[in-house]
Amino acid sequence: MFNITKKEIEHLAELSRLEVSDKEITKLEHDLGEILNYFNELKEVNTDGIKPLTGGTDLMNSIRIDEPERTEDTGKGKDQFPEKEDGYLKVPSVFND
């Protein structure tokens, strides 16, 4: 059985910058102890001859290669923009002066 101490919980809370009440510490002692005990149970499972999994599938990403390409349609939609000035699209000011 694995026991985690109040001091260890307080240290973890400090590292995580969490405020933890005494009631929460008591619950965390129990819950974290149960989790760590489960890992000890898993250590006892015989895994001899079992190959490690690498994700569970042989599928590959189907993402295309990003290659630059020239386009002739630059400026399309510019004619439909409400306001333009000196070849630029004019938008309302974001910052107030």
pTM, entire model: 0.47
The second-level CATH assignment, the architecture, of 6-43 is: Orthogonal Bundle (1.10)
In the chain, the DSSP E strands lie at: 84-85, 88-89
Q: Report the chain's terminal Cα–Cα distance, integer Å.
A: 66
Per-domain residue ranges for the chain?
6-43
User: What DSSP string runs through 21-34?
Assistant: -HHHHHHHHHHHHH
pLDDT digits (tens, 9 = 90+) for 44-94: 999 999 888 777 777 777 788 888 888 877 777 788 888 888 878 888 888
